[in-house]
A = this chain, B = another copy of it.
Amino acid sequence: MSWCGWGDPAKARELPEQVRGLLRDLLGVRAPHAPAATLESVRLPPVALTPAHLAALAGVVGAEHVRTGHEERVRHTRGKSTPDLLRLRAGDGSDAPDAVVLPGSHEEVAELLALCSRERVAVVPFGGGTSVVGGLAAARAGFAGVVALDLARLDRLRSVDAESMTAGFEPGVRAPDAERLLAAHGLTLGHFPQSFEYATLGGFAAARSSGQASAGYGRFDDMVVGLTLATPSGTLDLGRAPKSAAGPDLRQLVLGSEGAFGVITALRLRVRRAPAERAYEGWRFPSWRAGSAAVRALAQEGPVPTVLRLSDETETMIGLAEPDAIGAGGSGCLLVAGHEGASVAARRAAAGAVLARLGGEPLGEGPGRAWEHGRFSAPYLRDALLAAGATVETLETAGFWANLPRLYDAVRLALLGALGSPLVMCHISHVYETGASLYFTVVTPQNEDPVAQWERAKAEVNAAVVAAGGTISHHHGVGRDHRAAYAAEIGPLGAGVLRAVKARLDPAGILNPGVLVPED
């Protein structure tokens, strides 16, 4: 993984000349004001932990699993939001952990949490490091130091229950490895978020991830039927049945807790048979409104495709639904429908009849295949845009169908108001009977302080989302970046409930301080 960008540096891409021209002529993008730092030149704070602390950590996990080297610390600094990358590119490593600690078992995690509670060392649970909401930058004040608790060694598939169609995983398994391990049993999770190549199963659970095929396979929180949470106060073992009326569903209190309540050390996940067939296709709608109505019809009346995604006019024109062919868009609104599993032909035909009836024009499998091929490419594209002097970032929300037009307008207006004339694109990519998500991509020229520039815009968007009745995040999470808006969303009493839970599980407050849980 690139230390200050996304993905395998070998897959880094050049911007096509056409795109450079668009950026220059349409948006006024110019080369960045400052050159990018090198990994070696990133400025890190001195290691705050004492040798005694480090020795105690090594006593739990072994000396080889406590790391304080420069590169290791840089690679565990923050996540992969655009401000995170911009800060690193500017050489700012001020949020680096003092040490990276790699436990090898649930018991070691539990011991680490007990040790860090005693010593007031903040702990940032670290999976794939792909947070885009500031979920990995601990508030250091008041602590003896900060460790990144990297779950990379907990990377095993522990069991497959083919009768119950569940699989037991350790939390540090990366998504491609999970798919590879399951494929040997003819199984799949079907969870393909844009972070797929790097993110871990534990991270998906902690952040309530939702993948591009959520219409067919469900969100990650739908897949978690059991979990184990190590906390400073002991262990929670949850999930004796798919569903229960035995009180509140405490699994749902852990899902989305973003490392602030404990460390997920085991997951029991619902799996599916690997699809026998798959077919992806494109449709064109004359307008966002017509396309939205068609998406809603499929979500409410079926048949629901496995993947269902609708780009607005701007995203369609730019061709962002097919990042590998950026700039090759068209008019109207592109809808991508993917069908996987059994009876693909029949489901495709039935869904196609609905789309045609509601004004869609079939484009065949080309756009579907192009989208599928480029489905994980957008973050690579972002790196090239950042290097070219553009700020590009994504943000997302969700709401009930009747409220989506208001949300759509509110976010666009906030971005336009904050940034002048940015390029704002949007798609619907996660649908439910009662509503859907809106996913925005914004491109704007970097000014001399692009982090501050973006943070101002982001604050306005957050306020707009809250005011327009949307949720502050459909699938990115809360982290630090959404914490204030989240407090507004759940209200003072909801925040009080979270603080009460946190105080019970993490009395010393060492777990991911500053993330998720609103301040009193």
Contact = CB atoms under 8 A, between A and B. Distances in A.
Interface of A: 161, 163-166, 207-210, 219, 221, 225, 231, 233-238, 240-250, 252-258, 270, 272-273, 296, 300-302, 342, 397-403, 430, 432-437, 469-478, 482, 486, 489-494, 496-501, 503-505, 516
A272 to B, nearest CB: 8
11 contacts: A161-B400, A165-B434, A208-B245, A219-B243, A241-B437, A246-B472, A246-B489, A249-B252, A270-B434, A496-B504, A497-B504
B250 A257 contact: no
Contacts of A503: 500
Contact of A401 (B164, B235, B430, B498): B164
A254 B248 contact: yes
Oligomer: number of copies: 2
Contacts of A165: 300, 401, 433-434
B241 A252 contact: no
Which of A165, A236, A246, A436 is packed against the most chain B CB atoms within 10 Å?
A246
Contacts of A273: 301
Contacts of A498: 247-248
Contacts of A236: 490-491, 493-494, 497
A497 B493 contact: no
A504 B500 contact: yes
Contact of A399 (B221, B240, B472, B501): B240
Contacts of A301: 273, 342
Contacts of A403: 164
Nearest to A262: B493
A486 to B, nearest CB: 5
Contacts of A249: 221, 252-253, 255-256
Contact of A258 (B243, B247, B473, B499): B247
Nearest to A244: B471
A207 B245 contact: yes
Given A258-B247, A472-B246, A473-B246, A237 B491 contact: yes
Contacts of A430: 243
A489 B209 CA distance: 27
A210 B494 CA distance: 26
Contacts of A399: 240-241
Contact of A496 (B233, B238, B240, B473): B233
B166 A244 contact: no
A401 to B, nearest CB: 4
Contacts of A250: 490, 494, 497
A257 B247 contact: yes
A397 to B, nearest CB: 8
Given A207-B245, A236-B493, A246-B489, 8 more contacts: A238-B490, A240-B398, A241-B437, A243-B474, A246-B473, A246-B490, A497-B505, A500-B500
Contacts of A257: 247-248
A243 B215 CA distance: 12
Given A235-B493, A240-B469, A497-B504, A256 B252 contact: no
Contacts of A256: 245-249
Contacts of A489: 240, 246
Contacts of A296: 163
A493 B499 CA distance: 16
A234 B18 CA distance: 57
A252 B243 contact: no
A241 B470 contact: yes
A54 to B, nearest CB: 29
A196 to B, nearest CB: 16
A300 B342 CA distance: 12
Contacts of A234: 491-493
Contacts of A163: 296, 401-402
A346 to B, nearest CB: 9
Contacts of A486: 246-247
Contacts of A235: 491, 493
A469 B268 CA distance: 14
Given A166-B434, A434-B164, A225 B501 contact: no
Contact of A402 (B161, B225, B243): B161
Contacts of A242: 398, 400, 432-436
A97 to B, nearest CB: 23
A300 B316 CA distance: 37
A241 B471 contact: yes
